[in-house]
Amino acid sequence: MADTSLPAGRSARPLLSGRGGEHLLVALLALYVLALGLWPLLRLFAEAFGANDAGEPLGLIRDGLAARATGRALGNTVYAAAGSVVVSAVLGVALALAMGMLRLRGRVAMTFLILAPLLIPSQIMALAWIELMGSSSPILGPLGLAPGPGQTNPMYSAGGIIALMGIEHMPLVFLAVRAALAALPEDLVEAARIAGAGRGRILVRVVLPLVAPAAASGAILAFAAAVGNFGVPALLGIPGRFPMLTTLIYQRLNGFGPAVIGQVAVLALLLVALAGAALLLRAVLVRRAVPVDRGGRALQPLELGRWQLPVEAGLWLALMVMAVLPMLALLGTALVPALGVPLTPETLTFDNFTQTLWSNATIRRAFANSAGLSLAAAVISATVALGLGYMAAQRRHGLARRLLWLTDAPFVVPGTVLALAYILVFLPPLPGLGVSIYGTSTILLLAYLARFLPLVLGPATVAMAGTEPALDEAARIVGAGLLARIGRITAPMAAPSLVAGAVLVFLTAFNELTLSALLWSSGVETVGVMVFSLQYEGNSTGAAALSAASVGLVLLLALTLDRLAGRLPPGTLPWRS
């Protein structure tokens, strides 16, 4: 046990001792959560209900809803999100059933590939599929399957957006259904088997009805995620002339600047309404779901016998198409001197990497900015999560437990909405300072802190909830102050979860685009923004090289997390669960 005794002869009271110290800490945490997360969002929604230029009450909403562009973008958003949910549900349920019910070799590797879309940013996924399906595809071209020169890339369409968002959000359905399968007792399946039911009948009559609520819950989450997706609609929808709400907001702000903040606030309100309705429906489904008795032995994987090799081969083929081939196409594009040049030993070159990563000062600055901002966001978020998790899970402070719920707000709303809220709040000079942080790295850091705190707070709180409270109480009785107890008892026990969560924050923030696309400025470029910019400048090989380097970093950090798997609480790494 950590030594929490006070040195002999010390008479001064420990820093933040007693209940007063706890209340002060919670007050500071509340100020942090409310100022960075809740206040900007409330300010944005209030703006949307304001008067228009003619001074008419609620004029902004009426004008926005009546605009033809709004109706088209709203219809496209609902259509694409609903279509992508079908793809996500079919793939997610099928893969979860395979991983959860069958005895498969290489299960961890398969699961990692299934969850890869959660680790790889949407703009990089979109770019990878553009390179895979284009006329210069280094994968399909040599096979004679690529579109001919001059033909439109099939990804630049509503169908391409639906398919890619379906694959990107499929892990949400997969994780929900896999968790439901893990909760099913073997007794139910065994009873059906004794009654004479075959494997197919057991699947249809027993398993699927019991996991259907989880599948619906995951599908609704996939819908909410698709509504707020920016990277895929930006890279596929803008050139494909398929506007969605997120891209319409981006184009309006990019074209007219903060002067149209009131108009785009209405579009943001529509996004929140769609995502909020989906999440409300999910909450109702979860509340009404009939609980399954988890007693007895867990569901045992089925032996495949002579079907082992065909089933595993089919799964590997599907995962290769969804997760591996697009990344290989991205890498292949980065290794040729120009689009259209076949990748051969003679044409292979690393010039795109050297010119993009080393010779381009703007991209070097973007890497430095992203690394610095992501590291700062990870460290600060882990520190806040330590304090808030301690007060909520260990001390069970009422306000701290309510703050846990409030921290989810900036994470569940679409990133475009949060970025608009930050523009609205931080564009004017800060009170008392007379300076604006709009267009600086500070506004990016604050937005990252608000959005990504739940990534580390969730696992950290779970870890602290499993810590024996008697240790903290004993240290308090012998005179240890609040900060001493947190630093010397809680922090070491929660360290693996805090580190894992901090790495997830770093990974997510490093390649982030949705917030950065609206908040960056010259000199404050980020990696996600540069990938987007290079592609639209026509420098596809440079964008591919930068994306390949980013994916390599993601894989390296994921491997680092995997090496820590033995020290992390169960379920922290989803591909190891």
Residue 10 lies in a domain: no
Which of 305, 335, 365 finishes a domain?
A: 335
Question: Which residue ranges in the chain fall short of pLDDT 70?
Answer: 1-18, 289-298, 569, 571, 577
Residue 340 lies in a domain: no
Identify whether residues 92 and 175 lie together within a single domain.
yes
Give Cα separations from 386 to 19, 378, 477, 496 (angstroms): 18, 12, 21, 12
Identify whether residues 313 and 441 lie together within a single domain.
no
| Closest to 547 in 3D by CA, of 120, 53, 101 | 120
Structural domain including 236 reads: 67-259+267-335
Which of 335, 357, 377 finishes a domain?
A: 335
Residue 466 lies in a domain: yes
Which of 314, 335, 356 finishes a domain?
A: 335
DSSP state of 439: T
Identify whether residues 308 and 351 lie together within a single domain.
no
pLDDT (0 to 100) of residue 323: 94
Residue 113 lies in a domain: yes
Identify whether residues 137 and 38 lie together within a single domain.
no
pLDDT (0 to 100) of residue 543: 94
Identify whether residues 305 and 411 lie together within a single domain.
no
Residue 194 lies in a domain: yes
* One-letter amino acid for residue 175 of the chain: L
Q: Using CB atoms within 10 A of its CB, is residue 253 exposed (0-12), middle (13-18) or buried (19+)?
A: buried
Residue 13 lies in a domain: no
Identify whether residues 118 and 196 lie together within a single domain.
yes
Distance CA 322, CA 319 (A): 5
pLDDT (0 to 100) of residue 218: 92
Identify whether residues 285 and 147 lie together within a single domain.
yes
Look up residue 368 and give its two tokens.
């430095």
Identify whether residues 400 and 533 lie together within a single domain.
yes
The answer to whether residues 254 and 171 touch, using CB atoms and an 8 Å cutoff, is no
Identify whether residues 174 and 247 lie together within a single domain.
yes
pLDDT (0 to 100) of residue 14: 53
Residue 3 lies in a domain: no
Residue 287 lies in a domain: yes
Give Cα separations from 539 to 513, 530, 533 (angstroms): 18, 11, 9
Identify whether residues 294 and 407 lie together within a single domain.
no
Distance CA 373, CA 297 (A): 47
User: Helices 491-510 and 441-465, interaxial angle, to 10°?
Assistant: 140
Distance CA 424, CA 261 (A): 7
The SS3 call for residue 413 is: coil
Identify whether residues 25 and 154 lie together within a single domain.
no
String of DSSP letters for 125-143: HHHHHHHHHSTT-TTTTTT
The answer to whether residues 183 and 294 touch, using CB atoms and an 8 Å cutoff, is yes
Look up residue 220 and give its two tokens.
């609704």
Report the number of distinct structural domains present in the chain: 2
CATH code of residue 145: 1.10.3720.10
Identify whether residues 475 and 355 lie together within a single domain.
yes
